[in-house]
Chains A and B, each alone.
Chain A
Amino acid sequence: MDYLSSEPGQDHLLCLAGEAIEGNEISVIHLQDISVRYRLIRERRRTFQAHVINYLKGKRIAAESLWALKQIYLEIPKGESLGIIGHNGAGKSTLLKVVSGVIKPAEGEVHVEGRIAPLIELGAGFDPELTGRENIYLNAAILGFSRKEINSKFDRVVEFSELAEFVDSPLKNYSSGMVSRLAFSVAIEVDPDILIIDEVLAVGDVVFKKKSKERIMQFSQKGTTILFVSHNMDEIRTLCTKVLWLDQGIEKMMGKPEAVIPAYEAYHAV
């Protein structure tokens, strides 16, 4: 009898848990009123001399600054693909940097859960003097892989990049398309929870572009959360379930692609 009486309570708990899983409302990225401020270049005192002179003059130049992002609130549930659009200097890349942890915002809070793979400017970690092979190891280490993991993934990387015959020549002899292919191939080997893509689909030839797009779609289907910056509205439409339009660091509009993209295009057509 005792056993039975405790059942309703348990049912209730189970029910709650079930709802949470079904609703899939666990957000993996949560940005609370983020603001990022950049200092303007002319304000920077790069030499001791300038610094000391200014100090002696009592000139404490009030930091001339620019808000790259202002009061951004963002909540992304697991598995969502968010497209970020906006003009140059709208704060798109800055937002990606905040999410990936490179920049600490001046204000606001950042909560990000899971392993992040940044496909930001491919090949940032490449060294032209080293060979393709050495660069694969270096780049994989930058992405946080251990030696063992790199060894096991090495062949797959080379195969995907289609650069097997060049893998032992220095990177400076590669074409820029080849470099991007190699970088992309390393980066997608991170099995990420969050994939951050900053206009990388613009690399390589048509065939490779198609291949990398397919790969990204695969990630999306697997439940990887994707943040995607692009100027190509077609790509945004095919890849994203939600779009954020930034304008001078401020959220202009957020919603379904079919709502935001026409508004964005209309705004800039004027």
Chain B
Amino acid sequence: MKLLQEFSEILRYRELLRNLIERDIKKRYKRSALGFLWVMLDPLLMMLIFYIVFAGLFGKAVGNYTAYVITGIIMWQLFAQGTKVSSTAFIQNRNLISKIQLPTAIFPIAMVGSSFAHFIFSLIPLFIIILFSGTIPSYYLPLLPVAIALIVIFSMGISLTISTLTVFFHDVVYIYDVLLIGWMYLSAIFYPVSILPQKFQMLMSLNPLYHYISLFRACIYDTTLPIAEHLMFGTAFAVVSFAMGWTIYHRNRDKIIFYV
């Protein structure tokens, strides 16, 4: 019930949610000459780097390396950017939190929202690359919204967890930064899982991001992937993550104001 109550509060403040997302995007690009174009250039440049460095190494094993890498990067960014920025969501908005009554969860959620907005725009370079590299789009494409919804829910859970913990222990910001780097290398963004030893391949199914990235690849171009399995794991991880994030946030909600 409490969950529904707070969600309806956030819904009532959707104009604020929109404004927070807009502010995040505006501020990020306001000072740059290319401005919003960076949203699209960023994944392209990253892909270029990965391509130059790793195409020779993994290109053969993967097959369609360009599509493989760009889908991996875009999914990873959707998750990592949103949760990373939201680690300081409460602290950065302490001015507001300690003065005006608001559904506080709106701040980390807005950061995930901003990352989602970035993601929507990065679909443009993605589809340009898919088309120009002659890749045939997957017939699972209608499942794309489901795949996105799952990773967004998963991100929200992590984001609520990290942002709440940060209020009480600042170290979480740095720990999470390091964790993200490790996590990125473990998520099969630029290498195929097949290069890993057999026992590590098994462990990969415990990595939520591996499922979300694979799900995305299945929806975009790779129909050979076991989509049912990824959907199942993806849903389970999303539910667990969100339940965890919400519980941690909700238990500490009234204490946050005294610590930010």
Contacts and interface: CB of A to CB of B under 8 A. Distances in A.
Q: Do A and B bind each other?
A: yes
Interface of A: 38-39, 44, 46-49, 51, 97, 100-104, 116, 118, 120-121, 124-125, 127, 129-130, 134, 137-138, 141-147, 150
A47 B171 contact: yes
Contacts of B175: 48
A42 to B, nearest CB: 14
Contacts of B19: 137-138, 141-142
A108 B102 CA distance: 21
A104 B125 CA distance: 48
Contacts of B133: none
A134 B26 CA distance: 10
A44 B259 contact: yes
B23 A118 contact: no
B251 interface: no
Contact of B170 (A38, A47, A118, A145): A47
Contact of A124 (B95, B168, B170): B95
A264 to B, nearest CB: 26
Nearest to B95: A124
A121 B27 CA distance: 23
Contact of A142 (B26, B100, B169): B100
B101 A102 contact: yes
Contacts of A145: 15
Contacts of A134: 23, 26
A127 to B, nearest CB: 6
A100 B102 CA distance: 10
Nearest to A99: B101
B12 A48 contact: no
B257 A102 contact: yes
A124 B23 contact: no
B95 to A, nearest CB: 5
Contacts of A120: 99-100
A90 to B, nearest CB: 18
A38 B27 CA distance: 35
A129 B30 contact: yes
Contacts of A142: 16, 19, 96, 100, 102
Contact of B101 (A51, A101, A141, A150): A101
Contacts of A103: 257
A141 B169 contact: no
Interface in B198-232: none
Which of B16, B26, B170 is most buried by chain A, counting CB atoms within 10 A of its CB?
A: B16
Contacts of A124: 95-96, 99-100
Interface in B97-153: 97-102
A141 B16 contact: yes
B15 A146 contact: yes
B13 interface: yes
Given A44-B259, A118-B100, A150 B15 contact: yes
Nearest to A39: B258
Cβ-closest 3 pairs across A and B:
A101-B101, A141-B16, A141-B15
Interface in B1-38: 12-13, 15-16, 18-20, 23, 26-27, 30
A190 to B, nearest CB: 11
Contacts of B169: 46-48, 51
Contacts of A150: 15
Contacts of B23: 127, 130, 134, 138
Contact of B258 (A38, A101, A116): A38
Contacts of B96: 124-125, 142
A150 B257 CA distance: 28
A38 to B, nearest CB: 6
